[in-house]
Amino acid sequence: MRELPLANRPEAVIVVTGSELLRAEITDENGPFLARELARIGLRCRKITIVGDDPDLLEAAIRDGIEADLCLISGGLGPTHDDRTIELLAKAGGKQLAVDPKLEREIDLIGRRYARNVGSSYHGYEEGVRKQASIPEGALVLGLAGTAPGVALELDGCVAVALPGPPYELQKLWPSALESAPLQRLLERVPPFERHTLRYYGLAESTLAAALENAGGDGDGVTVTICARDRELLAELFVDPGAEARADKLVNALIAAGPDTLFARDERPIEQMVLELARERGLTLATAESCTGGLVGARLTAVPGASDVFLGAAVTYANETKSALLGVSPETLQEHGAVSVECALEMATGARQALRSDVALSVTGIAGPGGGSADKPVGLVFFCATSEQETLAQEIRFSGDRDQIRRYATVAALHLMRRLLAQTGHS
Amino acid sequence: MRELPLANRPEAVIVVTGSELLRAEITDENGPFLARELARIGLRCRKITIVGDDPDLLEAAIRDGIEADLCLISGGLGPTHDDRTIELLAKAGGKQLAVDPKLEREIDLIGRRYARNVGSSYHGYEEGVRKQASIPEGALVLGLAGTAPGVALELDGCVAVALPGPPYELQKLWPSALESAPLQRLLERVPPFERHTLRYYGLAESTLAAALENAGGDGDGVTVTICARDRELLAELFVDPGAEARADKLVNALIAAGPDTLFARDERPIEQMVLELARERGLTLATAESCTGGLVGARLTAVPGASDVFLGAAVTYANETKSALLGVSPETLQEHGAVSVECALEMATGARQALRSDVALSVTGIAGPGGGSADKPVGLVFFCATSEQETLAQEIRFSGDRDQIRRYATVAALHLMRRLLAQTGHS
């Protein structure tokens, strides 16, 4: 796995502050969000540093961060004495802090409204308002999320952006940061680049890596990254200007490595692809889930607008529920067990009937850690996708812990549904 | 939010390496896992640094990390030239690398078996084996995960531990790291501490913070952290020896701030509490989900052994499915709409019947971004929990994006189920 060392590409450092992140009470979402955004706009992310609110460590992290072309800081913008990001950014950047009167009025208004809403006195808010309205000289206010202002600040050779810590607020202010003049000036320096995305399901990482090597490997203006995620493989090619022909050659070699397993040339999540395929074909979907416990339904309904094709799921965890909701026959359960291709088939057929969908998909398996046997080990999962015209069944033995097996099974289920829908289109 | 500055507590730095993390193709799970472990064993986490495989940046991060009492490093232990963690740890710690012959034989065996299994030639593996068997002089091998050895190394004033990057492998080797002599010697220096955990649902963070201030605030040997997570509040008190009486006073004040909303004094996830309550009472559970799309079922079934009380879920996303699976009457849907207390009630009652459970819980709401109206805005969610004896209904208006609203609704649903089960026990 290589960095993204495209020629002259500006580099960024992300500094995340929040003591609760270091105690893992909360898992940081801002670092991954900002890293994804950096990749999208063509900057290289050099480092993510997560520190608490210890002023010395936070100052050191900011000083290190502003060595890069872009320093993105999240958190520490609140009204209390522990929130020191702005003060320390000003210090590290050699700027004075000054109260912005317009900002002070805005924050004051919001604070008064909030105090009124929760029925508390406004007394004691003033100091926090003045603190939150104090920004480094020359800084640009990116807007308010709650009472915390995001700011962009041009320093010598670096653009620093401070954003609030709550992920919802950070993501709300991020577009303003992107559109701000300091960041736009930086983005003008990003060399143009082409990007190819190839996504596979059911191909070994080593096969793809060997195909890449046989085609000459990357380098000479093309950077290739290959990464596995929940048993999907993602290959990305970042192409410097002038290396397009070489990139095309590599793309062709990578396609030839597993043409049947290549399922996408873009980044749409598999659940979105399934919904779009069904929508194009005018088909409704339902699932019957056992070991995934609702995860397939949850992934499909995470996509806004899923309701026009996804009707619902029968999560039949207990055997009696498989019979009661889906009509799985007690004989099948007794003879073959709930974890069997026969049961998967009856679950899918039953879901099509019970939920009155055009297509239904079933998952039944052993997620562990208990419940396995020599015959049917932990990780064994059966799938079935069925439509009026066609039925596909699959058996996979996953390795990993309970959480991984459930995630892998969810992705495998979505891919089987995609295959069925794609074939339905071809018939 | 304060650090955990307990007297003389050893400090740790976590260094995570993996270029894919900086492009956010994968979200780091190792930093949060290790941070949680550090809190559990009483060490303070000073910083988490995420870097790619650029040797200079990784070396700088390791050099910075070994300034702490404990440096935990994840990733970069693979067989290829990009995997440089061990080499750079040796360099930063001033140690020579040497091949461990026993380790070399073990890795060689595993490599040969793997090559045979995937049907590829073993040729070319030798170099990688020698590389992975090369460890810093004086280092202790913590075992193998795949072909990558975890190592612990005692340096001047610091214990460094390198673990493989895949979360499953890291977590598999972590117990050996904890039990290793170098880490045990470090843990002997951790002063004893008491910890209190208080968890609330339905209490405002500001109310709890005010109660803390009124009781004298923290300090004087007691560190209090309050943090909100999916609308649950978690208050933790870390108590130095000698400050127990003061801590008890604070605990009492925090309990008095919201006795009806205090639901736990430990860290069991709410889904586990629900399952345990049901198990104690000999009751089976089912859910009927609309806007959560299966998330409640997925959370319940994430707990190993859920199958003895959780029967299943009817994920009824479409209106017709609500009628088909749960018998929600078309009149209710027409008069009150699917997002109504009436529909929630019929969904829960219908789920009890259809899934033949003792207790059932329903969720129906508008997760957005579309589908809202002035009357029924995005974020409006109705819940109903019902048993033979009792029925509880609830209406909540959440704010946030689609993902947040669904997560909040999932947690709210689990809490309503917990309340119903707790009351069932008291009757």
How many other CB atoms are found less than 10 A from the CB of residue A98?
14
Closest listed residue to residue B63, CA positions, set B173, B155, B135: B155
Res B145: pLDDT: 79
Domain B270-426: homologous superfamily in CATH: CinA-like (3.90.950.20)
A39, A354, A370 member nearest B24 (Cβ): A39
- Give the number of other Cβ atoms within 10 Å of residue A97's Cβ: 15
At A61-114, the pLDDT tens digits run 999 999 999 999 999 998 777 789 999 999 999 999 999 999 999 988 887 877
Contacts of B19 in chain A (CB under 8 A): 1-4, 225
Residue B399 CB coordination number (10 Å) = 11
CA angle, residues B176, B182, B183, in degrees to nearest 5 = 60
**Maximum average pLDDT range among B15-24, B119-128, B288-297:** B288-297
Lowest mean pLDDT segment, chosen from A113-117, B98-102, B177-181: A113-117
pTM for the whole structure: 0.83
Please report which confidence band the pLDDT of residue B1 belongs to, taking 50, 70 and 90 as the band edges.
Answer: very low
| Geometric angle at alpha carbon B232, from B231 and B238, rounded to 5° | 140
pLDDT of residue A129: 86
Q: How many CB pairs under 8 A join A and B?
A: 278
Pairwise CA distance, residues B169 & B30, whole Å = 10
Per-residue model confidence (pLDDT) at position B199: 96
Picking from A118, A121, A166, A119, the residue whose alpha carbon sits closest to that of residue A144 is A166
The 10s digit of each residue's pLDDT in A283-333 is 999 999 999 999 999 999 999 999 999 999 999 999 999 999 999 999 999
Chain position carrying tokens 């090619």: A237
pLDDT reported for residue B424: 83
Band of residue A1 on the pLDDT scale cut at 50, 70, 90: very low
Range with lowest mean pLDDT among A144-153, B225-234, B319-328: B225-234
CB contact under 8 A, B31 and A20: no
Strands B310-316 and B285-289: parallel
Q: Which residues of A touch B310 (CB under 8 A)?
A: 317-318
Question: Over 50: is that where the pLDDT of A2 sits?
Answer: no
Contacts with B18 from chain A: Cβ below 8 Å: 1
| B41 vs A: CB within 8 A | no
Is residue A426's pLDDT more than 90? Answer: no
Q: Is the pLDDT of residue A42 over 90?
A: no
Closest in B32, B316, B369 to A312, CB measured: B316
- Determine, for residues A27 and B32 on separate chains, whether the beta-carbon distance falls below 8 Å: yes
Is there a contact between B294 and A305 if contact means CB atoms under 8 Å apart? no
B/e letters for A177-187, b = 16+ CB within 10 Å, e = fewer, are bbebebbeebe
* ipTM > 0.95 for the complex: no
Residues of A in contact with B356 (CB under 8 A): 320-321, 324
Confidence band for A40, pLDDT divided at 50, 70 and 90: confident
Q: What is d(CA A180, CA A191) in angstroms, rounded to the nearest whole number?
A: 19
Does the beta-carbon distance from B19 to A32 stay under 8 Å? no
B-chain residues near A52 (CB < 8 A): 3, 45-47
Q: Name chain A contacts of B54, Cβ cutoff 8 Å.
A: 3, 46
CB contact at 8 A, B114 and B132: no
Looking at the complex, does the CB of residue B217 fall below 8 Å from at least one CB of chain A? Answer: no
Q: If pLDDT is split at 50, 70 and 90, which confidence band does B427 have?
A: very low
pLDDT tens track for B115-164: 776 566 666 677 788 888 999 999 999 998 777 899 999 999 999 999 99
Q: Comparing C-alpha atoms, which of A221, A224, A229 is closest to residue A254?
A: A224
**Spatial CA neighbour of B288 closest among B405, B386, B179, B398:** B386
Q: Nearest-CA residue of chain B relative to A235?
A: B25
Specify the pLDDT at position A4.
Answer: 45
Query: pLDDT category, B260, cuts 50, 70, 90?
Result: very high
* A7 pLDDT higher than 80: no
The sheet carrying B222-229 orders its strands as B222-229, B232-239, B194-201, B262-264
HSE (side-chain half, CA atoms, 13 Å) at A176:
19
pLDDT band at A3 (very low <50, low <70, confident <90, very high): very low
Once rounded to an integer, what is the mean pLDDT over residues B329-343? Answer: 97
Average pLDDT value over all residues in chain B = 91
Task: List A residues 135-154 in contact with B (Cβ-Cβ < 8 A).
Answer: none
Mean of pLDDT values over B226-249: 88
- From A5-14, B199-208, B396-405, the region with the lowest mean pLDDT: A5-14
- The torsion angles phi and psi of B341, rounded to 5 degrees, stand at -65, -35
What are the CB-based long-range contacts (under 8 Å, 24+) for B303-309? B303/B269, B303/B271, B303/B272, B303/B275, B304/A368, B304/A369, B304/A370, B304/A402, B305/A370, B305/B275, B306/A293, B306/A317, B306/B275, B307/A317, B307/A318, B308/B279, B309/B275, B309/B278, B309/B279, B309/B283, B309/B284, B309/B285
Asked if A398 contacts A408 with a C-beta cutoff of 8 angstroms, the reply is: yes
Instruction: Give the one of A19, A33, A295 whose C-beta lies nearest to B1's C-beta.
Output: A19
pLDDT for the residue A140: 96
Write out the two tokens for A227: 């990464």
B314 touches chain A (CB under 8 A): yes
Other C-beta atoms lying within 10 Å of the C-beta of residue A213: 11
Q: What is the pLDDT of residue A425?
A: 64
Structural domain spans, chain B: 11-187, 194-264, 270-426
Helix (H, G, I), strand (E, B) or coil at A102: helix
A227 closest CB neighbour out of B25, B35, B49: B25
Is B76 an 8 Å CB contact of chain A?
no
Is the CB of B297 less than 8 angstroms away from the CB of A302?
no
What is the CATH number that goes with domain A194-264? 3.30.70.2860
If you compute the radius of gyration of chain A from its CA atoms, what whole number of angstroms results? Answer: 26
Enumerate residues 360 to 419 of chain B having a beta carbon within 8 A of any beta carbon in chain A: 367-370, 400-404, 406
Chain A (244-283) residues lying within 8 Å, Cβ to Cβ, of chain B? none
Nearby residues of A215 by Cβ (< 8 Å), 6 or more positions away: A249, A250, A253, A254
Mean pLDDT score, A406-420: 97
Q: Does B49 touch chain A (CB under 8 A)?
A: yes
Of B229, B313, B356, nearest to A320 by CB-CB distance is B356
Q: In chain B, what percentage of residues exceed pLDDT 90?
A: 71
Higher pLDDT, A335 or B23: A335
Cα–Cα distance measured from residue B25 to residue A227, given in angstroms and rounded to the nearest whole number? 8
Q: Is the pLDDT of residue A427 over 50?
A: no
Shortest CA gap B138–chain A (Å): 29
Cα angle A111-A112-A118, degrees, rounded to a multiple of 5: 90
- Residues linked to residue A44 through DSSP beta bridges, in sequence order: A11
User: Closest Cα of chain A to B216: distance in Å?
Assistant: 17
Among the ranges given (A56-60, B166-170, B307-311, B387-391), the one the predictor scored with the smallest mean pLDDT = B166-170
Residues 6+ apart with CB under 8 A from B101: B133
Compute the nearest-CA separation of B393 from chain A (Å): 23
Task: Kindly report the CATH number that applies to the domain delimited by B11-187.
Answer: 3.40.980.10
Determine how β-strand A232-239 pairs with β-strand A222-229: antiparallel
pLDDT at A280 over 90: yes
Most confident of A181-195, B205-219, B225-239: A181-195
CA angle B297, B346, B361 (to 5 degrees): 25
The confidence score (pLDDT) of residue A351 equals 98
Query: Could you write out the three-class secondary structure of chain B?
Result: CCCCCCCCCCEEEEEEECHHHHCCCCCCCHHHHHHHHHHHHCCEEEEEEEECCCHHHHHHHHHHHCCCCEEEEECCCCCCCCCCHHHHHHHHHCCCEEECHHHHHHHHHHHHHHHHHCCCCCCCHHHHHHHHCEEECCCEEEEEECCEEEEEEEECCEEEEEECCCHHHHHHHHHHHHHCHHHHHHHCCCCCCEEEEEEEECCCHHHHHHHHHHCCCCECCEEEEEEEECCEEEEEEEECCCCHHHHHHHHHHHHHCCCCCEEECCCCCHHHHHHHHHHHHCCCEEEEECCCCCHHHHHHHCCCCHHHCEEEEEEECCHHHHHHHHCCCHHHHHHHCCCCHHHHHHHHHHHHHHCCCCEEEEEEECCCCCCCCCCCCCCEEEEEEECCCCEEEEEEECCCCHHHHHHHHHHHHHHHHHHHHHHHHHC
Which pLDDT does position A5 carry in this prediction? Answer: 46
Residue of A nearest to B305 (CA): A370
Enumerate the residues of chain B whose CB falls inside 8 A of the CB of residue A35. Answer: 21-24
**Residue bearing the bigger pLDDT, B63 or A218:** B63
